[in-house]
Amino acid sequence: MGSQRNYYSYGYTGRILRVNLEDKAAKGEEIKEELRRKYLGGRGLAVKYLYDETPPGIDPLGEDNKLIFMTGPLTGAVPTGGFCYIAAKSPLTNIIGGSLMGGNFGAELKFAGYDGMIIEKKAEKPVYIFLDDGLVKFFDASHMCGLGVHETEEMIKDEIGDYDLKVACIGPAGEKTVRFASIVAESVHSSGRTGMGAVSGSKNLKGIAIRGTKDVPVFNPEGLLREIEKTAKRRNVFQAALSAYGTSAFLSLSARMGAFPVRNHIRSEGYHFDEEEIFSSIIKKDACFACPIGCIKVSRIPSGRYEGELSSSFGYDALSSLGGLCGCFDTGFLMKAHNMCNELGMDEISAGAVISFAMECSERGLKFGDDERAVEFGNCASEIDLLGDIANREGIGDLLADGVKKAAEKISYGSEKYAMHVKGLEIPGYDPRKMKKTALSISTSNIGADHMSSSSFLLELGFSLPISSYQGMDDEKNTPMIVKELEDWLAMTDSLVICRFYGVSIDKSQISSYLSLVTGIELTLKELEGIGERIWNLERIYNLREGLRGREDDALPDRFFPDDEEKKKFDMQIDEYYRIRGWNDEGIPKEEKIKELL
């Protein structure tokens, strides 16, 4: 039956698949038990492999980068257990890159017999991989170049002759190594930030298809059923909002705080959307593996040039980044723009941010070479054209495809002032001036300006989350502790791997219950928090190794500090954050902290 501390018998398969694209070879490999004891799986394990197996200073788009897909002990067995974590050195930021990928792909990888997949080297010509219940086959994908992700998925399913395959692939953006290109699972689950799609494109890997029919053995099947039943048919306020409206539910919440940013974060204001139109365009919901929330909305474009076209997972990111930041408030256009980002395979937050950067530069008279096209705030049609150009690296799209930081460096002429990013990752649609926890969160996230790393923005929007011990205490004094706790907890749930929306909205004790029911492993909340802290510090050390400057990079663009008073307050929060984390004034983990954790 296996002892309680045996990490091999339940939940895990115990093996990863190492794929060499140059040799077109794949081999199974055991995961050392010590690694799983310390890092659990998913994000923790992926980052650990990356840290151990790649030397400092590699080119993220070069052969030495590794593209890692990693599942965790809960994958395939619990609600939202279809996720996997994707990690590699990011071509956008040159530090750790990583993103959760939703749907069913991760579960299928485990059903195929592996906890993870490490993709190495580069294929001579475009290929796709088919993992068939443990057996790996490589197929030519040259005829798929230029195809969108859905077209690619359909073609792969046709060629292999199996419509239940779970496919994750890149679109033209990934092929052209647009630095914020995404990998998209099952045509609709975009993963997401930091350019994992570009890494795949640089390796000539067009896609991965998986079919798995193996068991995930469960330690206590009856107990697991009872535990799943607890959240299957009940929703709290947060889950109910997502269930009904998706992340569009956040729109009125951020707008009423005056935290909905417009025009490249020049300011924030209310919004000009017809919320009724957005909500009534929803036809039904779609959900990831066993998820009781179902935050994905299937909608029909309600009006305008693209009326009638269907869309999946339209929500806040499209409304804020493709919408508000670009001064575009036409729902019909935004749903089309969102569809394009999905199909072309690129991160809509970064895409919207880089276009809004171009719009501000244009309005301030900075020219982009010979391109005479009107790039101005509010020009929805040109935004749609630009999305296509970015994905194909045409015209100024080629410049913008490298992200705001690199684009500003190329243009110079002071355009760096208008590049809204932290560590090279573009800032999402929440105003850090109004949302202090988010300000600290996007400054300290290990992948750059990512609001989801702590998801503290949800607290600021007014949701009560079971996982934060600071409920209703809104004084800024507690902000560093709140953010740190959330960051560590989610680093751990990203390693189990479950969805963040599910992970933030269920009791912490349920997470440890799931873990013990599926795997038989008993871990206290303190131990789970400790694992999260370990993972966070490992990412920090990786980043420092890759040239992160510590405190200097844990910073927001000047635009967000209208006066010295605000800057001082922010600096004090960073001081306190470092103190809580056991880091020195420069944001470098102290010796004792490293010894304690790593």
Partner 1 sequence: MKLYVISNPEKCSGCRICELVCSIKKEGVSNPSKGRIKIARIYPGFDMATACRFCEDPPCVLLCPRDALKKGKNGMIGLYKEKCDGCGICVEACEFGAITMHPDEKMPIFCDLCGDDPECIKYCPENALEIASAEKIAQRARISTFKKYLESIPE
CB of 79 to partner 1, least distance (A): 7
Could you say whether residue 278 binds partner 1 (CB under 8 A)?
Answer: no
Question: Given candidates 15, 20, 35, 217, which one binds partner 1 under the rule CB under 8 A?
Answer: 217
Could you say whether residue 501 binds partner 1 (CB under 8 A)?
Answer: no
268 conformational bin, left if phi > 0, alpha if psi -120 to 50, beta if neither = beta
CB of 77 to partner 1, least distance (A): 4
C-beta closer to partner 1: residue 119 or 167 = 167
Block residue for tokens 């089309």: 336
CB of 111 to partner 1, least distance (A): 7
Could you say whether residue 576 binds partner 1 (CB under 8 A)?
Answer: no
Q: Could you give the CA distance from residue 73 to residue 13 in angstroms, rounded to a whole number? A: 9
Identify which of 42, 73, 66 has the alpha carbon closest to the alpha carbon of residue 516: 73
Q: Phi/psi at 30 (nearest 5 deg)?
A: -75, 145
C-beta closer to partner 1: residue 42 or 292 = 292
Identify which of 304, 351, 290 has the alpha carbon closest to the alpha carbon of residue 106: 290
CB of 290 to partner 1, least distance (A): 4
Could you say whether residue 130 binds partner 1 (CB under 8 A)?
Answer: no
Q: Hey, what amino acid is at 498?
A: I
Q: Cβ distance 259 to 268 under 8 Å?
A: yes
Question: Given candidates 173, 188, 492, 498, which one binds partner 1 under the rule CB under 8 A?
Answer: 188
Could you say whether residue 290 binds partner 1 (CB under 8 A)?
Answer: yes
Could you say whether residue 291 binds partner 1 (CB under 8 A)?
Answer: yes
Q: Hey, what amino acid is at 103?
A: G
Tell me which stretch binds partner 1 (CB under 8 A): 18-26, 207-215, 440-448, 474-482: 207-215
Using CB under 8 A as the binding rule, the residues of this chain from 142 to 161 that contact partner 1 are 150
Identify which of 474, 519, 473, 511 has the alpha carbon closest to the alpha carbon of residue 491: 511
| 557: CB partners within 8 A, 6+ apart | 265, 417, 419, 420, 421, 427
Question: What count of residues does the chain have?
Answer: 598
Could you say whether residue 296 binds partner 1 (CB under 8 A)?
Answer: yes
Tell me which stretch binds partner 1 (CB under 8 A): 63-71, 270-278, 290-298, 345-353: 290-298
Using CB under 8 A as the binding rule, the residues of this chain from 512 to 541 that contact partner 1 are 518
CB of 130 to partner 1, least distance (A): 17
Q: Which tokens is 411 given?
A: 């243009």
Question: Given candidates 187, 454, 456, 513, which one binds partner 1 under the rule CB under 8 A?
Answer: 187
Could you say whether residue 280 binds partner 1 (CB under 8 A)?
Answer: no
Q: Could you give the CA distance from residue 63 to residue 193 in angstroms, rounded to a whole number? A: 21
| 556: CB partners within 8 A, 6+ apart | 422, 427, 432, 439, 442, 443, 570
Total chain residues near partner 1 (CB under 8 A): 40
Q: Which tokens is 477 given?
A: 């004094």
Could you say whether residue 213 binds partner 1 (CB under 8 A)?
Answer: yes
Identify which of 327, 315, 317 has the alpha carbon closest to the alpha carbon of residue 264: 327
Question: Given candidates 73, 97, 102, 292, which one binds partner 1 under the rule CB under 8 A?
Answer: 292
Could you say whether residue 224 binds partner 1 (CB under 8 A)?
Answer: yes
Using CB under 8 A as the binding rule, the residues of this chain from 344 to 383 that contact partner 1 are none
- Burial class (CB within 10 angstroms; exposed 0-12, middle 13-18, buried 19+) of 135: exposed
Tell me which stretch binds partner 1 (CB under 8 A): 288-296, 376-384, 420-428, 571-579: 288-296
Using CB under 8 A as the binding rule, the residues of this chain from 235 to 254 that contact partner 1 are none
Q: Could you give the CA distance from residue 542 to residue 554 in angstroms, rounded to a whole number? A: 15
What 3-state DSSP class applies to 392? coil
C-beta closer to partner 1: residue 285 or 417 = 285
Q: Could you give the CA distance from residue 572 to residue 480 in angstroms, rounded to a whole number? A: 10
Question: Given candidates 65, 191, 311, 537, which one binds partner 1 under the rule CB under 8 A?
Answer: 311
Query: Would you give the binding string for partner 1 spanning residues 71-110, x where CB under 8 A is met?
Result: -----xx-x------------------------x--x---
For binding to partner 1 (CB under 8 A), which residues are involved? 76-77, 79, 104, 107, 111, 150, 187-188, 212-218, 221, 224-225, 228-229, 232-233, 284-294, 296, 298, 310-312, 518
